[in-house]
Amino acid sequence: MKGKSKTILSAIWRLIWKSALWFFILSIGSVILFRWLPVPLTPLMLIRCLEQKTDGKAMKLKKNWVGFDKISPDLQLAVVCSEDQNFLKHRGFDYEAIDRAMDYNDTHKRKRGASTISQQTAKNVFLWPGRSWVRKGFEVYFTFLIETFWSKERILTVYLNVIEMGNGVYGAEASSHEFFKKNANALSKYEAASIAAVLPNPLKFSAAHPDLFVQSRRAWILNQMALWGGVLDFHPDEK
């Protein structure tokens, strides 16, 4: 009996070991692959399509991958000012923002997050929506990987191509056509700030028809962009 138990435990251990090994191989391999190749689909895109189908609605999936130079510098700056002003400085995690969020959440029922653009990119490309500790652990792992293998420019490029920006609308190019009938590289500061303003809840808010909350947030983003004083500098050491 003991010998049989040891055999079963040994088989289980080998299965766990092989599964973990393949996970590391596939996860690292996919991160390296997407360093150069466009991300074709994300888990969230598939989930939204299933939700639309379940609700009896027509499936809507608008996305159009474009390179970094095809995205308005104003939109690049707007989302950094809106979502993660330390994006160019941190290595994936903004510990000061995490501390502030923890202090805020200790005294408020409505919780505040502190996810960086890197974390949001890792979550959107490789993971599923949710707030469990397991998913958060995978998010930390994939954030570390993309910060290791990708440049900041690449992280922002992927983010701006896969982020949900409306109902069935993903990425800068698709949202620019959906809301402003133009290419992403032709967006004005005002339009860029409008798109960035809806990111906290793109299914509730509209960049084309902003309510008072979006208008207020857009004004704040425009002010932050002005205070920034110019476009994002990804290579300050080269000057």
N residues, the chain: 239
The reported pLDDT for the residue numbered 132 is 85
**Three-class HEC string of the chain:** CHHHHHHHHHHHHHHHHHHHHHHHHHHHHHHHHCCCCCCCCCHHHHHHHHHHHHCCCCCCCEECCCCHHHCCHHHHHHHHHHHCCCCCCCCCCCHHHHHHHHHHHHHCCCCCCCCCHHHHHHHHHHCCCCCCHHHHHHHHHHHHHHHHHCCHHHHHHHHHHHCEEECCEECHHHHHHHHHCCCHHHCCHHHHHHHHHCCCCCCCCCCCCCCHHHHHHHHHHHHHHHHHCCCCCCCHHHC
pTM exceeds 0.85 for this model: yes
In the beta sheet, which residues pair with residue 164?
170
pLDDT given for residue 237 in this prediction = 57
**Alpha-carbon distance values, 200 to 81, 109, 150, 151, 166 (Å):** 13, 18, 25, 25, 11
Higher pLDDT, 8 or 123: 123
Sequence-ordered list of residues with C-beta below 8 angstroms from that of 154, at least 6 positions apart, any chain: 35, 68
3-55: pLDDT as tens digits? 566 677 777 888 888 888 999 999 999 999 999 999 999 999 999 999 998 98
**pLDDT one-digit tens code per residue, 68-118:** 999 999 999 999 999 999 999 999 888 887 777 666 565 656 655 668 999
Please tell me the predicted confidence (pLDDT) of residue 1.
54
Query: Looking at the predicted structure, is the pLDDT value of residue 131 above 90?
Result: no
Mean pLDDT, range 113-126, rounded to an integer: 91
β partners of residue 62:
169
> Higher model confidence: residue 158 or residue 133?
158
Classify domain 41-238 at the CATH class level.
mainly alpha
Of 138, 90, 147, nearest to 114 by C-alpha is: 90
Report the distance separating Cα 151 and Cα 161, nearest Å: 15
For 210-222, the pLDDT digits (tens) are 999 999 999 999 9
What's the chain's average pLDDT? 90
pLDDT at 5: 67
| Per-residue confidence (pLDDT) for residue 9, from 0 to 100 | 77
pLDDT exceeds cutoff 50 at 239:
no
114-123, 129-138, 154-163, 169-178, range with the lowest pLDDT:
129-138
Contact 166, 175 (CB under 8 A): yes
